[in-house]
Structure formats: C-alpha cells, structure tokens
Amino acid sequence: PLVLGIETSCDETGIGIVRGHTLLADAVASSVEEHARFGGVVPEVASRAHLEAMVPTLQRACDDAGIVLSDVDAIAVTAGPGLAGALLVGVAAAKSLSIALEKPLYGVNHLAAHVAVDQLEHGALPDPCLAMLVSGGHSSLLRVDDVTTSVTPLGATIDDAAGEAFDKVARLLGLPFPGGPHIDRVAREGNSVAIDFPRGLTSRKDLERHRFDFSFSGLKTAVARWVEAREASGEPVPVADVAAAFQEAVVDVLTRKAIDAAASEGIEDILIGGGVAANSRLRFLAEERAAAKGIRVRVPRPGLCTDNGAMVAVLGSEMVARGRVPSPLDLPADSSMPVDLILR
C-alpha cells in the first residue's frame, strides 16, 4: 500500500510517504531554531509552526515521491504522546485528508513509530526485539513482540529524558540548543575518564526497584555543581572533558541497562531509536557491549532517529498490511497516550 504519514508531536512537521517498506519521501520542516533562544521547545510556537508548515511540507513530500494525493491508499498520523496543541494540527490535517480522499485513517503511537522506522533501513523487525527509545522527551526500554499490537514497557526515566539531560548540560557549557549534537562533537576532543560523574539508578539498592529505569537529573546537577566549583576557583572549565565525561555517564547506563533487559528477556536483538540514538558514542558502545553478549544492535541512520513522517508512514503501512481496523474519524489527539496503546 502507498501510505502517507504525518508527524507533529513536538517541533518537527514531518510528512513521509512509503510503499510497503520502501521510503518514497521524507519531508521535514523543523521549528527548532524558533525555540533556540528559549532553550527548549515552546508549545504555542510549535503549534503555530506546524500550521504554517503543513501544506508546503505535504506538497514537497508528494513532489519528492512523484505522486499526487489521490494515489494514497491510507493516512497515518501520530495521535500521541506529545504536545497537545502540536498533535492537534497533525490529527486535523490527517482527518481532512482521510475525508477528502475517502481513505482510511490510522492514529498511531509516536513511540511505536520510532521503533517501526528501522524497517525502512534494515527490513522486517525481529520479534521479539528490545527497543531503547532515547529522545528529548522519552527514555524507555520496551519489549516489542509486534509493533502493531504488542509493545510492553520494561522501564523508563523517572525524571529527565536522556536528550533533555544533553540539552541542559550543553546549555550549562555554553553550547547551542539542541545540545546533543554539540556535546557529541565536543566530547571527541575530551577525556571521558577525567571526571567521574554519577551513574543514576545503578546501586544495588536502586536496582531492586528500578532495574530497567533511568534517572538523569542527579547527573545534570552533579555536572552543574562541578562546573560551578571550577568557575568559583577561577580556573577555566575544560568543556571537552566535561562533555565527554557526562556523555560517558549517560551512555554507560543506557547500554548497560538495555543489554541487561535484553538478556533477562532472552532477546537477541536491540533496536535503538529517538534523537539520542544519533549519538556516536552510544552507537559505538552499544555495538561493542552487545557483541560481547552475542546480541545484535540495529540503529537507523540519524535522519530517521529524530522525529519524522516516514516513521509514521511505515507503521501505518504495517497496520494496513496486517489488516488492523482503522481509527474513527473523531480520533482524539492524546498527549499522554500510553506506550502499550499502539493504535488509537
């Protein structure tokens, strides 16, 4: 089937077009620069940007794919979780298209879409697989038995998301927003063992209750204290070392827990998704540690890790292929859509 996917859960307006597992177009308009001076995504600004970008992005995707809208067999859209006002823009656009084209509508879960997207790059998902989603808004470990019907949460962050920690620490170091790519780059010149930052929820006691959960707010505070102490002493802050040591602390815990979760579930394939999956050190360490345990790691290319429409389209395509019942036309946007609810 030819499926059009719409993504507006955060600050990217994404329109993707796929045929089966083949990507035909992936047009993304980001409002990230409009949020930069605020140091984080401003919901109202994001909603307005989606409204402005929707029609031109839709047009661009159709042009790139060499199709006209009437060729489309189904419309998929992110129904949640995400920013309420931002989601509404995408859901309204999807409903309009569904009505105008008389084609079925599939309101899907953004997190399941982050998992499904890897099929565009590496083919059908092994089931079960263990998915680690790490982005600006999420840090979760999921057991995926069927990306259209069965996703089970194993753990998640109890405070900040991994990407949020990258963004906050980058700000502290005077690096631009969003900070993840800047920390990744700067850290290459730094010494990751120069400073020993805390690994959240890894003590024996914490592991009893939070074996597969994450915590990054203590780490962020530890970095802030360390930098403040340095500044107070009048010495220059070794930005590259701080970035490298911070990144190592995040990536160490993420890879350890993902591999532990896979091993304890008897799963041999780990899939990493979300914006932080673009991190070069995370990709390297995950590969290295997983290989030592006979576990395979799949990571989509960076452009498919961050929010985009292609991930929604390919999940929609899977829904059609597996004969799932479409969503009603009064499909609500669900800002806190639970992880295990895949189709709304």
26 binds ligand ATP (CB under 6 A): no
How far is the CA of 153 from the CAs of 71, 144, 341, in angstroms? 37, 9, 11
- Contact positions with Mg ion (CB under 5 A) in 10-39: 10-11
4: which strand partners? 17, 75
Q: How far apart are CA 48 and CA 320, in angstroms?
A: 31
Tokens of 198: 């805390």
In the list ligand ATP, Fe ion, Mg ion, none, the entry touching 20 (Cβ below 5 to 8 angstroms by class) is none
Has 340 been labeled as part of a binding site? no
Q: Which of residues 292-311 bind Mg ion (CB under 5 A)?
A: 307
Query: Total residues at the site for ligand ATP (CB under 6 A)?
Result: 23
Binding mask 102-141 for ligand ATP (x = CB under 6 A): ---------------------------------xxxx---
Selection from 286, 209, 217, 277 nearest residue 252 by Cα: 286
**Is residue 164 at the binding interface for Mg ion, with CB under 5 A as the rule?**
no
Q: Tell me: does residue 113 bind Mg ion (CB under 5 A).
A: no
The site string for ligand ATP over 266-295 (x = CB under 6 A, - otherwise) reads --------xxx-xx----------------
Binding site partner of 190, from ligand ATP, Fe ion, Mg ion, none, Cβ cut-off 5-8 A by kind? none
Residue of 316, 298, 310 lying closest to 117 (CA atoms): 310
Consecutive H or E run containing 26: strand 22-30
155 binds ligand ATP (CB under 6 A): no
Query: Does 167 interact with ligand ATP (rule: CB under 6 A)?
Result: yes
Supply 98's token pair. 């569904």
- 307 carries a ligand binding annotation: yes
Query: Could you give the count of Cα atoms lying within 13 Å of 216 in the half-sphere of its Cβ?
Result: 28
Which of ligand ATP, Mg ion, Fe ion, none sits in contact with 106, Cβ below 5 to 8 A by type? none
Q: Which residue is at the shortest CB distance from Fe ion?
A: 307
d(CA 314, CA 3): 7
Our CB check for Mg ion shows the closer of 310 and 319 to be 310
- Answer for which of 3, 10, 89, 219 binds ligand ATP (CB under 6 A) is 10
Give CA angle at 245 (244, 251), nearest 5°.
85
Residue 281 has a CB neighbour count (10 Å cut-off) of: 19
- Minimal distance in Å, beta carbon 41 to Fe ion? 11
Choose the stretch contacting Mg ion; rule: CB under 5 A; options: 7-15, 116-124, 156-164, 231-239: 7-15
Any contact of residue 80 with ligand ATP (CB under 6 A)?
no
Determine the Cα angle at 278 with ends 288 and 228, to 5°: 95
Q: Mapping DSSP to helix (H, G, I), strand (E, B) and coil, where does residue 31 land? A: coil
Task: Verify binding: residue 13, ligand ATP, rule CB under 6 A.
Answer: no
Which token pair is 25?
A: 């177009």
- Asked if 185 and 240 count as a contact pair (C-beta separation under 8 A), the reply is no
**14, 16, 80, 178: which one binds ligand ATP (CB under 6 A):** 178
Measured distance CA(271)–CA(114) in Å, rounded: 10
User: Does residue 334 have a known ligand-binding role?
Assistant: no
Q: Sign (positive/negative) of CA torsion 136, 138, 143, 146?
A: negative
Q: Which residues bind Fe ion (CB under 5 A)?
A: 135, 307
Find residue 29's DSSP bridge partners. 13
Feature table: binding site for Fe cation: 110, 114, 307
Feature table: binding site for substrate: 133-137, 167, 180, 184, 279
Q: Where do contacts with ligand ATP occur on this chain (CB under 6 A)?
A: 9-11, 82, 135-138, 163, 166-167, 178-181, 184, 274-276, 278-279, 306-307
Q: Where do contacts with Mg ion occur on this chain (CB under 5 A)?
A: 10-11, 307
